[in-house]
Amino acid sequence: MKRSAVIALALTWDGARWPMHSLPPKARAFLAAAGKDLRICWLPRLKGGNDVLSQPFQTPTGRRIQYKAVRTTPFGDILGVVYRRE
């Protein structure tokens, strides 16, 4: 069975990547689910520094890609969000 493309990340509120192995099992399973989604687990932490996402993300052509949050799932203080293209 071919798995569809899923982008899955664990991020702090300021956009710094968080190691997925440190998430609870249910949050890791949420990120591993198949589908054509953008799945993010937002952690209530701030990393700070120059490596965080302080600028808007743009594609190489400069176009913004429209995504809409279609589902949220709480994992304690972590919020899992599924985004889909509009």
Q: What is the pLDDT along the chain (86 residues), one digit of tens a residue?
A: 445 578 899 998 888 889 999 999 999 999 998 888 899 999 998 887 666 665 666 678 877 778 899 999 999 999 999 999 87
SS (H, E, C) 35-75: CCCEEEEEECCCCCCCCCCCCCCCCCCCCCCCEEEEEEEEE
Of 65, 6, 85, give the one whose Cα is nearest residue 41. 6
Tokens representing 28 are 């890791």
pLDDT confidence of residue 1: 42
Asked whether the CA dihedral 23, 25, 26, 28 is positive or negative, the reply is positive
pTM of the model: 0.78
- The pair phi, psi for residue 38, each rounded to 5°, is -115, 115
pLDDT confidence of residue 41: 95
Tokens representing 82 are 């599924």
Domain locations along the chain: 7-48+62-85
pLDDT confidence of residue 62: 77
